[in-house]
Homo-oligomer: A and B are copies of this chain.
């Protein structure tokens, strides 16, 4: 684990990476100042965040764009290859199964799980849907380390416990409930409704 980098900095690395990849090929150099300006952040913050990677900026010219992209990709394990599974083949699970953006980060979605027998054995976006009761053997066979939970809140902890017991080491949880996991298992939570509520409370009246 990149224990030295605060999560708050880690969260910004994909934003820098997306921005750098959007630059035209002729931008050989990029400065922390120009990144900061383009993304509406402070320059000191950008420089501090990037210092966690192996990229080295040069006085006056900044970073070599290609090198900085490589350093960020290395830090974010984009060149490694990790397998992920989706738990819950409902509407959200289907949307994530069909999303192509994981490849850029070296992540492949390899299968889905569901508890509804009608879904066992079907294929969504080319991915097989397995019975969640088979998680142990399937996860072992597919060498999956990451899981995305897309099931109702009341079943999320139970599913997480099962996945962790079967060797899953990181969970992205869409259920609107806090998932508890032992040390060594990373959990992130995306609550879509809460995000919209936060925005709503930011609207000026």
Contact = CB atoms under 8 A, between A and B. Distances in A.
Interface in A87-116: 90-92, 94-96, 98-99, 101-102, 104-107
A78 B197 CA distance: 8
Contacts of A62: none
Contacts of A189: 15
Given A82-B203, A145-B200, 15 more contacts: A1-B204, A1-B205, A10-B202, A13-B198, A15-B189, A19-B178, A76-B197, A91-B91, A105-B193, A105-B200, A107-B200, A146-B200, A170-B200, A170-B203, A186-B202
Given A91-B94, A169-B203, A18 B195 contact: no
A197 B15 contact: no
Question: What is the count of identical protomers in the complex?
Answer: 2
Interface string A127-149: 00000000000000000011010
Contacts of A80: 200
Most buried by B among A13, A22, A84, A199: A199
A192 interface: yes
A23 interface: no
Interface in A170-205: 170-172, 176-178, 180, 184, 186, 188-205
Contact of A190 (B102, B186, B190): B190
B193 A102 contact: yes
A158 to B, nearest CB: 15
A102 B11 contact: no
Interface residues of A, number: 65
A195 B190 contact: yes
A200 B192 CA distance: 21
A201 B19 contact: no
Contacts of A205: 1
Given A39-B178, A192-B190, A198 B76 contact: yes
A14 B200 contact: no
A178 B18 contact: yes
